[in-house]
Amino acid sequence: MRKIGFYIVALLTVALAGTGCSNKHEAGKTENIPVVTVKGVTLETVKSTVIPELLDVVGSVRARTSAMVSTRIPGTISVLRVREGDRVKKGQLLAQLDAQENQFTASVATAGIDEARRGVDEAQSRKKLADSTFDRYQNLYNEQAVSRQEFDIRQTEKEVAAQAVARAESRLKQAQEGAKASSAMSDYTRINAPISGVITSKPADLGATVFPGQPLMTIEDEGSYQLELALPESLATKVKPGTPLQVTVDAFGSSFAAKIAEIVPTADPASRTFVAKIPLNQNGLKSGMFGRGSITLGSSLNGISVPKKAVVERGALTSVWTVDKENIAHIRLVKVGREMSERCEILSGLSDGDRIVVTGMEKITEAAKVE
């Protein structure tokens, strides 16, 4: 038993000795790994600078000229010639309603004009007869061939006939005006484009029953768009037409300088904001696009900014490559603030004197030596 225990202890001692040698050998290997050297990169030393204080506000792109097309009479859509995305010209027929009551009213009004015109003709014939009869009786009265009473009767008949003509002409005019109104109501069955543009929405479909004031479609002028920003009411005395700002439309991925052209004089009591309108001249704009505006408040703060191209984004992490005193590269997480033209603000992660890689980041790996 003693010999067996001795052998076990000896074997364990040999195994431990072999393991120690193996660890020393691996450590020697790690220490001998060559350091990667990177050339052809550009560095920049981070410095704290004065950064203007900006207010970022959001808004939406809207068409400066748009028209909501609706109907003035009830009816059923019997013809529909457009759909979303179609471009139309002013006066073009968009849809037509089936409104039989209005057409019947127009027919009755036209018949009423004919009836009134015949009434005028009849009244004028009676007046002509009354005038000629009065002339004869006037001659006879002058010759004292008829009595005063007979003369007065004929004179009264003449005056009554003249009044009958006036009433008939008034009825004719009334019938004509009624026919115009009925004709206009009948024309309301034709829905024409009030402006030239593109159909952006069409809530009504073929065969649908519509009522006065119900929206049928919306037309927007493609040649004029504007960004409508919701500004806090605290800026009411600071922001005026002509105030410069930096505008960003996310769909384009770029920003540009612009000026406020118009400010709505009333504020929204619910959101406590008022609307500022900025004209846009870029191609490819669509109504409803998301946009932002950065307005300089006139004050400034000390901060750090770096070139946008120096910032590396990997998923939800934002970082930059830094180089220490021994010229060894390390990745460092940062928090990015506002964007300012070709640079962006760094809220945390960097301090004065840090050196960062501006170009050639694709060549660098962790712990690489930068020359």
Question: What would the pLDDT profile of 144-185 be if each residue is shown by its tens digit?
Answer: 888 888 888 888 988 888 898 888 888 888 877 776 666 656
Residue 281 sits in the same domain as residue 327: no
Token reading at 21: 């040698």
CATH number reported for the structural domain that contains residue 252 in this entry = 2.40.30.170
- Which of 245, 238, 249 is CA-nearest to residue 260? 245
Note whether residue 13 is domain-resident.
no
Residue 107 sits in the same domain as residue 176: yes
Residue 10: pLDDT band with limits 50, 70, 90: very low
Residue 217 sits in the same domain as residue 147: no
Q: Helix, strand or coil for residue 369? A: strand
Higher local confidence (pLDDT), 312 or 4: 312
What phi-psi label fits residue 327: left (phi over 0), alpha (psi between -120 and 50 degrees) or beta?
left
Residue 334: pLDDT band with limits 50, 70, 90: very high
Residue 272 sits in the same domain as residue 313: no
pLDDT tens-place string over residues 82-120: 999 899 999 999 998 886 665 556 666 677 777 888 888
Residue 72 sits in the same domain as residue 218: yes
Residue 155 sits in the same domain as residue 265: no
Q: Helix, strand or coil for residue 100? A: helix
Residue 170 sits in the same domain as residue 115: yes
Residue 109 sits in the same domain as residue 166: yes
Residue 88 sits in the same domain as residue 143: no
Residue 228 sits in the same domain as residue 356: no
Helices (H), 188-255: none
Give the domain-ending residue among 284, 299, 314: 299
Distance (Å, whole) CA 270 – CA 258: 28
pLDDT on residue 102:
57
Structural domain count, the chain: 4
Residue 44 sits in the same domain as residue 175: no
Give residue 330's domain range: 37-52+302-370
Residue 351 sits in the same domain as residue 281: no
